[in-house]
Structures are given as structure tokens and as C-alpha cells.
Structure 1
């Protein structure tokens, strides 16, 4: 994550140096298209070949691509085409990398520790955001864009042997997972196309073996994956659609993202400009948000589990939506920082709990595809809300847009509370 932060700073700096502002914007946006279009296919890849193998391979490709462009810029100087190629490659690889990362936690720890893993991941994200930008700036100051890309490549290179050192635990299916009504094979028996179609998250097709007397559950054994990727994708989407917990949970996540991204990205910039807070004031508000999210991550890391997880998540979403709406009406910068800290705390808590529920409620065979659907919502559909938010603020002002966004975000909490199976969902303890 630190390497990614340095990479994006180096990419934006190199693009500005090599072209016009509009060309720089195009370079920064070009990786989003293949990532959004290929993310669902990336989930199929993660389920068919195993998240560990896919994460290691895609991370190695990212490292090689960044170091190659660093070498090109060092030898030939600034140029837009190497940056465009790098951005496209990064977007394609991210489409595979991200679903595999989403499927990995269930293979490295037990289900009762997944909430703690989500909290630790939140802490890692906040740490990377704080450390990455200064490191990227130092790389640019000392070695220009080539130096910053080289630094990003070296940081990513360090992560590869760390990933290789990670050991997978045996993949098991836990009978009694909630939300399996109406889904043939949701409890591990078979997929809708028969037992041979349950794609194992270890990398190959999951063929159910005999119960393991030591673990009291059924071990998913590996075999050669049959069928086409297209059929695997259809099976994954059908699994989500029929799942009593995952379907409403993904809807709630999508609504929360749609209501959250616009105000916190575009809206906050315009609000700071209108109030005369300036760039430093906007930075202080963002720091408040980051601190709140970090506190939420630390809470889950220490606690490991909260009772009534879905209801707590719904309450956090609803309270967080009120705080988002209030952000447009606070009279002073210190008050805005305090509200932003509350938003970050509640959003971080609800996000981590929803992520943990997504992990624990999904059969291991489908984790890559479920993660890819969640990633498609966040990285493919949600960015569309940013230009809409900007246009709406120009038309009717910040207050109505923040309130509308808060209402959309709050609908996510309503969805959780209105779905009986999701509302009763618990994290294993």
C-alpha cells in the first residue's frame, strides 16, 4: 500500500511534467477503465487459481512494470506513452489483484479472527496514506519521476517475498453459515451446476471430500477446474443474487459508497473553498477523517469481535450519514474537523464490519467473485458520483447535496435493518 501511494504520486508528477493538465488527467484516469471492466473476471481468476498464487503473480507484475518505466524515464527522459502503458497495465493487474486480496483473509486465518484482520487492514491503509505521500515527495525531490518510480518499485518488491512467506490453512466449508436458503450448495454441498462446479478458493475446483474428524467440517479438495470462466462468473452472480445475506449486504455497501464518496472527495474541496478554509483547512478535515477511521481500525484489531455485528454496522451507517449531512452546516473549521473525525470513526467501523460479514458469510469457493463484485461497485460505479456531485453543488449549493448524499448513505443502514437474515447476522466468536 505504501508503494501504491508512492506510485500514484510519481505518476501524477511525471504526467504533469510530460504533458498538459488535461493529458495528465487522462493518464491518471486511464487505469480506471480496464480495472472496472475486468474486475468481475478477476474474481473468477482468483477463485480458479487460488488467491495466494494470483496475489503473488500480480504483485510481481506490478513491481516489474513500475521498475521498467523507472528505467525508461531515467534513460530517455519524460514521456507520456510510457506512463499511459504503465497506467493501463496497472489497471489490468489491479483487476486481478484486488479480488484475490479480498479472498485471501479466509485462507490465512480462522473465521472468528476475520473482523480483527479487517481492523488491521484499516490501520495499514491509514499508515500507508500518511507515510506514502511524504516518501513519494522525497523520491521526486531526490531523483525526479524516475527516482520516485524506482522507490515505488522497490517497496512493492519488498512485499513479494513477504507474500511468498504467507502460509495457507486448509480450506473448509462451515456448515451452518447463514444466508444459504435458496442457494443449491451454499452450505458446501454443491453448486447449481453440480458438485464439480464449486470453484475452490485454493485455486482449483472444490470437490467435497469426507468430513475431517479433527476439524469437524468438510474439507474442500482440489481438482482440475471444469467449464468456462463465463459460466463461473454466472454461477458467482447467481450465488450472490440468491443469498439472503450477501445480496442485501452488497446493496447496503453500494449505497454507502455512493453517498460517501461524492461529499468526501469533491464536496469537501468545494466546501473548504466556500468557507475560506483553504488547502490547509481541507487537509485538517481530511486528517480528522483519517484519525477517526484509524481509531475504528484499532478498536476492531483489539476487540476482534463486536456482538450483533450487522445491527452495529447499520447503526454506524445511519449515524455516520447524519454526520455527513451535518458537515455542510458546521460554522467553524475546528467543528468541521470534529465532525469529520466522527464520520471517519463511524464509516471505518461500518466498513470493517461489513467487510468481515462479507468474508464470513461467503462460501470460500466464491470469495474471489464476491470480492470482485464489491470492488466493481467501489472502483467502477462509485466514481461516477463525483462529477454528478460537483455539478449538483454548482447548481444548488453544498448543503442540499450533502443532505442528499447523507440520505443515500443512510439508505444502506435501512437496507440492513429491513433484511431479516442480514439484520441477525453475527460474526463468529
Structure 2
């Protein structure tokens, strides 16, 4: 008996204190939560983990930096070393150590693992439901279980779509960058060639000038001017074509408006107007006093067999076709480029020669010629030979100049063709005419 007591005393078994026992129980409970992949409550964490007490003094441990007295006695602190430690702490902005950085990828991985564990536990609990639960609860559980089973498929689909969109965006960005570089390179190449041509032409002009070749020098200058003139003529042709199309649209709208107004006027005629009839066999139209009145139409048709009524719309269209002078619009047919296959120099010479051979814009154009802006817009022309006798009061000194007569003819043409847009010079001409009449 005494031997067993001596062996227990030699082992040194000590009983747990109440605080240690409470900490042990908290650690066991936390382990059970972790084994089931569940979150550990905060109160269990605080009970299971006991942090070391905070340091209440700024002095190091005794005899960590020992010192010696004059008589050789060993002291617990070396005052100079302790002073240097305090000075280094005083120079620091904070006494706390810099915490280590948090790895976001590691945290994201841990979060994903935690979510997957929760999904697995939930699927396990839904699969092991008791058999005596109500039908509606079982149906909800089955729906949730099937939805949770689709999580892996959703993850794969989302990963595939994200990778596809990422590669698609990268490919588009690469294509756009490649196109931009190609366009930039094209402009740089064009600019380099242009500068090279200018330098070569400048060098040739200087050589001609140094050789006192005045004719060659002037020819080079004319060639440089011709290139600018060719570009100006091409742009002018494009603007004229655009103006022609707009004027044609305006004329078509005005013509339709006049036709509608005439139809409306005919529809507003009084009841005493005669009804036009036509003989079916000969096509002869009876109008005027020989035509019947609206209230006598039925009786007249019974007494005159072989006749029929003519609708007013058809009659108005026939009258317009007979009385109006239709202007046949010249259609500009699409034709092949007459300058195709020519080099730039030959093309420029032909364009300039064609521009020089054009007739004056006020001359009559034939139907075979291309309809330009003036031939399209100013279809109705009125020639002004001299000013009216009422202008100037008979004073021969108050006569309009030839260019003013041309301006007056232009203004009258604008009025006759129902066009707007009088220039500043023509506004001044209007003031001159007003003063002459006074």
C-alpha cells in the first residue's frame, strides 16, 4: 500500500482547476462543431482559447540585460541598455508591431471550401429525412436537394462562360488594336510619301531655278496648283449632285401640293356646276351647257343611252395633262467611271480640260447634257434685256449696269421657280432698285 502511494506521488498527478476544466469542455465542444463542418460560436472560442496576459511593464525580463556594480556585484539590469531600448521605442510612431498581410486568395479559398462543406451537409441532411414528414415539406426538400445537386454544373457553366467572354474581349481588343495600328501606319506611309514627293518637287524646282530654266520652273508650279484644282473640282461636283437631288425633291413636293389644291378647289364648286359625261362608243366628252346638271343626271342618262359619267378626279387629271407644260426630268444614268484606268496626272489634266470647256451657267442646255444645279433649279427662265421705263425717271444716268441686270434676272428666276436664298449682293441690288423707283 505504501509502495502504491509512493508511485503516485512520484508521478505527480495533479487535479484540474475549475477554470482548466471549463476550458477543456469548451475545446471538446468546439472540436465537435468542427468535425461536423459547422461554425464555432464566439463564446466557445473565447472559452477554449486563453490568450496570454498582456504585458503591463515596459521593462525587459530581469537579468536579460544584466549589469555589474563597482564591487563586482551582478545587477538585474544594465541601465545604459535599458535607456537605449526606451529611446528606440520613443522614436517609433507606434509600439505595435506591423501585422502580417492577409492573403485574399487564401481567404477566398477558405470561403469556397466552407460553402461547399455547408452544401454537402445540407444535401446529406435532406437525403436522410424521416419518412413520416408531410408531403409539402418533402416536396420542398426534394426541390432544394435537386437545386443543390446542380451547383457543380452551374459552377462549370459559369467558369466556361467567363473564360469565353474573357477570350472574346481579348480577341476584340487585339483586332481593334491591330486595325488602329494598320490605319495609323497607312496614314504615316501616305504622309511620308507626300513629304517625299514635296521634297523631290522642291528639289526639282530649285534645280530648274539654279539652271535658269524659267519655263520648267513655271510648269512645276502649275502642276502643283493643278492638283489642288482637281480636288476642288471633284468636291464641287459632289456638292452640285447633292443640291440637284434636293431641288428635285422640292419641285416634286410643290407640284403635288398644287395638284392637291386644284382638286380641293374643284371639290368646292357649287351645285350648279355641270356634270361631264362621255360617249362610250366615240369617247367624246360633253361639257358646258350641253352637259346635265347634278339633279338631272339620272333622267338625262335614261334619255341618252350610250353615255357615262366622268369622275371629277379623272377629269382634273386629264385637264392638268392637257393644260400644264410638263418638264421632263433628265435622269442621270449610272455610267462607268470615264477616268478608270488612268494615272493621276492624266486624270487631273482631263478634269481641268473638261472644266475649262464648260459653257456659261446661264446658257440653254440640251436634253442630252448632264443636268446640273442651275438647269434643274431654274427651269423657268425669263430673259431681262433692259430695265423698266418706270425706273430712273427717264434719267439716262440712272441705268442698271449689265451685272445688275444679270442679278435682277437671277432674282426673277428665283421667284418664278419658287426658290429661296438671296445673297447679300442681291439684297443690295434690291435696295438699288427700290431707290430707283422712288
TM-score over 0.5 (shorter chain) = no
Greater RCO structure (CA 8 Å; 6+ sep): 1
Could you tell me the TM-score, scaled by structure 2's length?
0.15
Could you tell me the TM-score, scaled by structure 1's length?
0.15
